[in-house]
Amino acid sequence: MISINTAVIDLKRLELMAGGNSPIHALDARAKVLVTFVFIVAVVSYGRYELARLIPFCIFPAVIIALADLPALFLARKIALICPFIAMIGFFNPVFDQTELFRLGHVVITGGWISLVSLIIRSLLTVGAAFILIGTTGFAALCQALERLGIPQLFTVQLLFLYRYIFVLADETCRASRARELRSCDKKGLGVVSFSSLVGHLLLRTWQQAVRIHSAMLARGFVGQFHARRQSRFGVAEFCFVLGWSSLFMTLRLFDISGMIGKMVTGIFP
């Protein structure tokens, strides 16, 4: 129950970050969505052995976090939570990919280890970009931006409903779990049987709560559209933001900047 409450609080804190007054917050949400999309496409397009070329892409999250005045440690902790799951996905890479790429002294570095580290870095960069996008935009404004970019309204409304009902489901889960613990004497009744019953009651309670929320929304004139807290337009600042970052990402993707810097450094300090 404590972990559920913590997760809900973190989601709410991430949403509250979108209320900032930085230049990044003031940009039109469509510009931030486009830049994040180009960033993710550029990062995931690298091969599994291209590790060093991913490092310069850390410039984007570092600069945005600094300009938007986001809590870097909070975001780092949330992003780090996915590391165990990514490591599990690439757990067998070092086992099946025994291709020798280079040596560090007597230590052989195989392609499996490089591909595992590359997978982790790409995941951290893409998930971090998504967190930063939500933290500087807000989920409602993000869904509105997707709709204005041509995504069907049905999809964006369902996506926003899914996000908002996470909090409803979490609240109902906390209440049901707390009631279950209070009714258990000496931790009796906390087994699998009672847990399955808890899940069934939770489904019914969330369904009833959803019906009540939907009725309240219809009574208040809901017609299938959500309105963001900020109304903005795509102007010169947004155009420069998209053009500048996209040009940088394409340059990093087309040219091996890391290799060039490495050759320059080794040339100066042989």
DSSP letters for 93-110 = HHHH---EEEEETTEEEE
Label residue 67 by pLDDT band (50, 70, 90).
very high
Sequence-ordered alpha helix ranges (H) in 69-138: 72-80, 83-89, 93-96, 111-137
CA 34, distance to chain mean position in Å, is 15
Identify the residue whose tokens are 């969330």: 206
What are the boundaries of each domain within the chain?
1-138+229-260, 152-227
Residue 24 has pLDDT above 60, yes or no: yes
Residue 180 has pLDDT above 60, yes or no: yes
Query: Tokens in use for 102?
Result: 């280079």
Cα 200 to Cα 132, 179, 194, 205, 208, distances in angstroms: 36, 15, 10, 9, 13
- Check if the beta carbon of residue 121 is closer than 8 Å to that of residue 88: no
Residue 2 has pLDDT above 60, yes or no: no
Residue 86 is which amino acid? I
Residue 182 has pLDDT above 60, yes or no: yes
pTM of the model as a whole: 0.80
CA 231, distance to chain mean position in Å, is 24
C-alpha 13/C-alpha 201 separation (Å) is 29
For the chain, report the end-to-end CA distance as a whole number of angstroms.
58
Greater model confidence, 38 or 178: 38
Nearest to residue 249, comparing CAs of 50, 35, 63? 35
> Residue 95 contacts by C-beta under 8 Å, 6 or more apart in sequence?
112
pLDDT, tens digit (0-9, with 9 covering 90-100), for 86-106? 878 777 777 777 777 777 777
Label residue 5 by pLDDT band (50, 70, 90).
low
Residue 192 has pLDDT above 90, yes or no: no
HSE of 113 in the Cβ direction (CA atoms, 13 Å)?
A: 9
Query: Tokens in use for 14?
Result: 């991430």
Average pLDDT over residues 45-71: 89
Label residue 7 by pLDDT band (50, 70, 90).
low
- Check if the beta carbon of residue 109 is closer than 8 Å to that of residue 103: yes
Residue 243 has pLDDT above 90, yes or no: yes
Residue 269 has pLDDT above 70, yes or no: no
> Residue 86 contacts by C-beta under 8 Å, 6 or more apart in sequence?
119, 120, 123, 124
- pLDDT given at position 267: 66
Greater model confidence, 179 or 251: 251
